[in-house]
Amino acid sequence: MLGRALPWPDRKIVLDAITEGAIRRLLDERDPRLRNFLLCNACGSCTPYCPARINDPGANGDSGYLARGVTAALQAGRRPEINLADCVQCYSCETICPRSVSIGGIINAVYETEHVQPVFRRMLLDRGGLPPYAFLPVYASRRRLGNFVAKAVRHPYRVDERAVAEVGSLLLRPVDASAFSLNGHAAPKRPLTPPDQVFHLRSCCAFNYPGADLSQRRILSALGVRCVTSSSQTCCGGAPHYMGGAGFADRLLLTARNLSVIRDACGEDDIAVTGICPTCSDSYVAALELLAGSANRAVVNEALGRIGREVSEPGGFSVANILDLYPLYLGELQRLVETRLSGLRVGVHVSCHYRKMNGSLAVPRKLHDLTTITGAQVVRSRMEHYCCGGVKNLFDRHLNGDADEVPRLNRLVCRDFVDNRLDVMVVDCPGCELVYDHMGIPVLHITELLALAMGADPHSTVYIQGHLTSLSPALARIGVL
C-alpha cells in the first residue's frame, strides 16, 4: 500500500523515518547486545578482520570504518548506512576488539529488528528446530534432490510432540531482551577432563551430514565414553538466531530448556555436553555465562515455569566441544587408527563460532593435530584464518533468489583450494561443511575423517554418498574406496 500511495522520494522518507524510529526504540529498550556500543572509539582494530569486507579498509580512508559506520549512526539514533545483510555473523570483530565491543552482536540486533525471517521462527514453533525441508533449496540448486530424499527418509530429525509444544509455549510469549544483563566478565571455565559420559547434542545442520553424527558416536564408543541423547532436546536456537529468525531471549530460553532436559536425561551433577556443531557449543557457553547471574536465572525460570521446567545454577555443566574433547584422547585416537590416509592433501578450517566461543582469533592447532594423526598431509593455507562465507550468507542468497551468485568469500575459498592443490577440506562445523560442499569443494567433518582412519565404512558410517560434492575421487586415489 505504501508503495502505491506515495511517489518514490516520499516513500523513502517515510520508510527511513520508520527505520530510524525502530532503531531509537531498540536503543531505548536497552537490548544487551547494544549496551556497550558507547565504548567503541573507532580504533580500527576490527577493520582488517571482517571477512565480508563491509568494513573495506580503503573506504573513506577511515581505519575505523566498520565501527564508525555502526556505532556513530546508533549514537545519533539512526540506522547504520551499510548493508547489514552482508554481515555473516562470524563475530570476528567482537573477538578482536580490545574493549569487547560486539559490533557483530549490534548488527545482529539491528538486523533482527529490520529483517526478521518469519520462516525460521515458524519452523521453531512447528518443529522445535530447523527441519530437513529448511535445507531443500540448497539441494535443489545443486540438483541433488536424491541426496535430500535419502537423508530425509533414513535420517529424519525427530523431536517428540511434547518438546515441540514446550517450545511453542516459550516462544509464543516472548521475553524482551532488555530483561537480561550481560555479565561484566566471562564466567571462569572449569578445566575439561576426560568424561565417562557425555550428553550428545543433535544439531539441526547435522541433518546434511548424518555421517558426522554417526562417526562421532563410533569415536566415543571406541574411547569408552558413554553417549546419552534425548528426543526431548530441541534446537539450541543458534542457527535461527544468527539468521534473524530467533531473538536474543529466544535463544537463551531454548538453550536453558535444553539444559533442563539434559539434567533429566543424565541424572547427575557433573555433565559434559558435546556435539559436532560449534554454534551449538557457543549457544551453551553463552547461556551458562548468562545463567550464572541470579537475576537472569530468575527471568528464565519464570518463563520455564510455564512448561513445568527449571534451570538451576549452571556450575554442574561443562561444554565439551569436539576440538576441546578429542585432544584429551590424542594418543588413544592415534592408536585406534587402522587405515592411514597417506597421500591425502587436506586444508583445515576452524569455524568462526568456535573461535568466538573461546574469545581468540588465533587458530588453534587442535584441528591440525587431530587431522595429522590420520596420516593425511595438512597443507597450511590462509583459509585457516578466514571465514568460509557463512551459512547465513548461503541462506540469504537462496531466499533472495541469488543462489548462483558467488560472493567474494566463496571465490577466495575456491581459489585457495585450487592454488594449494588440495584434495579435501577438513572442518569442525557442519555449517562450514555445508558451505564448502555447496560451492563444489570436497569436504569432511573432522569426525568423518577420524572415523575413516579408524576403519569405518565410508558409506554406512561416514555416509559419503550424502555429500553434494563427491569425495570418491580423493578417497579412491588413496585406497579407502
- The string of pLDDT tens digits covering residues 371-422 is 999 999 999 887 777 788 888 888 888 877 777 777 777 888 888 999 999 9
**CB-CB neighbours of 293 under 10 Å:** 16
pLDDT of residue 1: 39
**CB-CB neighbours of 25 under 10 Å:** 12
pLDDT at position 459 over 50: yes
Residue 226's beta-bridge partner residues?
197
DSSP letter, residue 202: P
pLDDT at position 79 over 80: no
- Specify the CATH number of the domain 334-477: 3.40.50.11810
How would residue 189 be classed by pLDDT, with cut points 50, 70 and 90?
A: low
Lowest mean pLDDT among 89-98, 151-160, 177-186, 189-198: 177-186
C-alpha cell read off for 449: 575423517
Tell me the DSSP string of 143-184: T-HHHHHHHHHHS-----HHHHHHHHHHHSSPPPGGG----S
pLDDT of residue 349: 92
Residue from 348, 367, 330, 320 nearest 425 by CA: 348
Give percent helix, percent strand, percent coil of the chain, each to the nearest 5: 55, 5, 40
**Contacts of residue 460, Cβ cutoff 8 Å, sequence gap at least 6:** none
435 touches 394 (CB < 8 A): yes
Lowest mean pLDDT among 44-58, 239-253, 450-464: 44-58
pLDDT at position 97 over 50: yes
User: CA 178, CA 33: separation in Å to the nearest integer?
Assistant: 9
Percent of the chain with pLDDT over 70: 89
pLDDT of residue 316: 87
pLDDT of residue 28: 67
Q: Which one is predicted more confidently, 105 or 52?
A: 105
Q: What are the structural domain ranges in the chain?
A: 2-115, 118-324, 334-477
CATH architecture of 118-324: Up-down Bundle (1.20)
Residues, the chain, total?
Answer: 481
How would residue 85 be classed by pLDDT, with cut points 50, 70 and 90?
A: confident
**Chain CA centroid to CA 50, Å:** 17
pLDDT of residue 303: 95
pLDDT at position 57 over 60: no
Q: What is the mean pLDDT of residues 226-232?
A: 93
Residue from 430, 396, 426, 356 nearest 203 by CA: 430
CA angle 149, 155, 159 (to 5 degrees): 115
Q: Exposed/middle/buried for 2, CB within 10 Å: 0-12, 13-18, 19+?
A: exposed
pTM greater than 0.85 (yes/no): yes
Q: Please provide residue 56's backbone torsions phi and psi, each rounded to the nearest 5 degrees.
A: -40, 120
Q: Which one is predicted more confidently, 214 or 88?
A: 214
pLDDT of residue 17: 56
How would residue 3 be classed by pLDDT, with cut points 50, 70 and 90?
A: very low
Tell me the DSSP string of 313-377: -GGGEEE--HHHHGGGGHHHHHHH--S--TT-EEEEE--HHHHHHHT--S--SHHHHHHHTTTPE
pLDDT of residue 314: 85
User: CA 245, CA 125: separation in Å to the nearest integer?
Assistant: 11
Question: Between 103-115 and 8-28, two packed helices, what is the crossing angle to 10 degrees?
Answer: 130
* 3-class state of residue 76 by DSSP: coil
User: CA 85, CA 157: separation in Å to the nearest integer?
Assistant: 29
pLDDT of residue 312: 87
User: CA 204, CA 478: separation in Å to the nearest integer?
Assistant: 32
